[in-house]
Amino acid sequence: MTLSGAGTVDPSEVLARVNAQAEQVYKLFRHPSTTEEILLEIQRILIDPLFDLSSDQITLNSKLEENLRLDRSKHTILAIGIEVRFGIEISDNEVQSLITVSDLVSCIQGKVEAKASRLDYQSASKRMLQFFDS
């Protein structure tokens, strides 16, 4: 980090470094958000031996209960898998209320987008500058 003057920190360089680090963290911890990415992750969760499914059975049009044979206990396992993979909260009752994989994808997309909108890296960078200025 460049020091300007006698021991003071250049705020613009701090801001640039914080923004670059925030972008790296975002990329590292980014959760899938496109329909295709989310479908792939749902397939990865559901091809576990507990579900006894293959990825070709899991399409956007698949019905969770009728086609994929998800009962109440499997809804709970799916909800936990989704929470872990996507970093969101979703109840097994919420999963159980959805009809198709497409409904599930839409639900996850909404929750991921809502979570992402709460993450304001620019605001964090500005707070960091305020810290250095005080």
Q: Which residue(s) pair with 3 in the sheet?
A: 9
Superfamily of domain 3-133: ACP-like (1.10.1200.10)
61 neighbors 53 (Cβ within 8 angstroms): no
Give dist(CA 60, CA 104) in Å, integer.
Answer: 9
Rounded to the nearest 10 degrees, the angle between the axes of helix 101-118 and helix 72-86 is 30
105 neighbors 60 (Cβ within 8 angstroms): yes
Is a pLDDT exceeding 70 seen at residue 93?
Answer: yes
For position 11, what pLDDT does the model report?
Answer: 72
Which pLDDT band holds residue 112 (cuts at 50, 70, 90)? Answer: confident
User: What residues does each domain of the chain span?
Assistant: 3-133
pTM over 0.85: no
State residue 9 phi and psi, 5-degree precision. -100, 140
pLDDT digits (tens, 9 = 90+) for 15-32: 777 777 766 665 555 666
For position 23, what pLDDT does the model report?
Answer: 67
For position 1, what pLDDT does the model report?
Answer: 45
